[in-house]
Structure 1
Amino acid sequence: MSEALGYLPYMWPAYIAYLINVVSPGPANFAIIGTAISQGRRAGLITALGIAGGSFTWACAAALGLAALLRNYAIALEILKIVGGVYLLYLAFKAYRSARLPNEKMAIGNTRTNYTARQLWLRGYAIHLTNPKAIFAWLAIISLGLPDHAPTSAIVMIITVCMTSSLIIFTGYALVFSTPHALRGYRAARRWIEGAMVLIYGAAGIKLLTSRI
């Protein structure tokens, strides 16, 4: 673990990028919000756990895949950095378009459907497992936070820290948005929040595209 601590200067920009990705609006967060509003806190928490499970799956896949690629192809890191940076800029554009939409077109949680705990977990897991945002985010995060020949302990550390944060954030969404009052507050400030996301995504994308190995 002491060896992994030497990689902290590389990890912290990746961690910040990960937090930006987790807290920003997207299919996973809106699934948690919609479930919490329509079916209550318990359903929202179970959905959040399923989404965290999907995130962990992509984290492991990205780490294992990158470790194999980077041992043989130095160009792979540059490709992943470009893909991740372009995707972050794409998210900035999406946030800009979303911020321009009226609240009437951004309804959340209007459909009330009852699911079992297993169905809720699997639904959350499937949403994140098929979410391009999650796939490319983990590729970008690991390529930015782990330079070539990073040890296994560094990989374990960055995944553990990011996954712990995602669990806190996802379950926090379920707790906060299980109240109608919180939803009204979000709708009132939605354009300001998404406007901030435009700036944050844009800065993170440029950082990823211009960072050096």
Structure 2
Amino acid sequence: MDQLSLYLPGILLAYSAFLLAIISPGPNVLAVMGASMSVSRKAGLALAFGVAAGSLAWATLTVLGLSAIVAAYSTALTVIKVAGGIYLLWLAFKAFRAARSKQDFKVMELEGGQRSQFGYAAQGFIIQMTNPKAALAWIAIVSLGMQKGAPFWVGGIIVAGTFALSMLIHALYALVFSSPGMVALYRKARRTIQTLFGCFFAAAGARLLLSRD
């Protein structure tokens, strides 16, 4: 229990960063919205499951990779945290810029016509795994939760928790955005939401850059 309390703040911060990252519309979220709005709620849910499976794969690969690197090189964690901090500050900049923009977000329209439920799930997995920014995002997220000398189970908790959050949030997007009224409501609140995202990412990025753990 003492060990858990030691690493819990970092784990919760990693969860918070991941939660805000997937709430902010990216290719994965826009694809789920598009499937729910233009095809059906079931298609959106299948796509959401595929995206969550992609999140699980990225999280697992990142934790295993970072653990191996940190074990081999004592200064690696510092370098990783600096890279993660810079990326979070970049996300903050993008969020503030999006908040100032008058241009509304556009959902992603999937090509290739309608698919089976498995086909939508596979498409969601591909969208998540081929996102060129995913590696940097996961390095930043895992870095928030992994302190120097952290046991392997900390990474396991981060992987399990982020997978559960991904399933929950993307499924909620699929359910909520099958309703035109909720789409309109989200668009009205978009600037406020993006500003809050920017503040959090800026604070998390600064924490990583200033961390000595």
Q: TM-score scaled to structure 2, two decimals?
A: 0.89
1:210 and 1:132 mapped to 2: Cα distance? 27
User: 1:154 is matched with which residue?
Assistant: 154
1:57–1:192: structure 2 CA closer, same or farther, 3 Å change rule? same
Aligned equivalent of 1:13: 13
TM-superposed deviation, 1:134: 2.8
- 1:107 corresponds in structure 2 to 106
- Counting matched residue pairs gives 212
Moved more, 125-134 or 177-186: 125-134
CA distance in 1, matches of 2:185, 2:147: 41
Q: CA deviation at 1:81?
A: 0.9
| Comparing 5-14 and 161-170, the one that deviates more | 5-14
CA–CA distance in structure 1, aligned partners of residues 128 and 108 of structure 2: 18
Residue pair 2:31, 2:110 contacting (<8 A) in 1 also: no
d(CA) in 2 for partners of 1:192, 1:8: 29
RMSD: 2.1
Deviations 1:13-33 (A, max 9, x none): 222222222212211111111
Conserved 8 A contact 2:28-2:51: yes
Distance (whole Å) between structure 2 residues aligned to residue 154 and residue 5 of structure 1: 11
1:164 counterpart residue number: 164
Amino acid at match of 2:16: I
Q: Structure 1: state its 5+ residue gaps.
A: none
Q: Displacement, 1:194?
A: 1.5
CA contact (8 A) 1:46 1:117 kept: yes
Q: For residues 97 and 9 of structure 1, what CA distance do their matches in structure 2 show?
A: 29
> How far off is 1:110 after superposition?
6.3
Alpha-carbon separation, structure 2, partners of 1:134 and 1:21: 11
- CA drift of 1:145 comes to 0.9
TM-score (norm 1): 0.89
Query: Which amino acid in the other structure matches residue 31 of structure 1?
Result: A
- The equivalent residue for 2:179 is 179
Q: Which stretch has the larger CA shift, 163-172 or 149-158?
A: 149-158
Q: Deviations over 1:134-157 (max 9, x none)?
A: 322221222221223322322212
CA gap of 1:143–1:73, structure 2 versus 1, over 3 A, is: same
Post-superposition shift, 1:97? 2.6
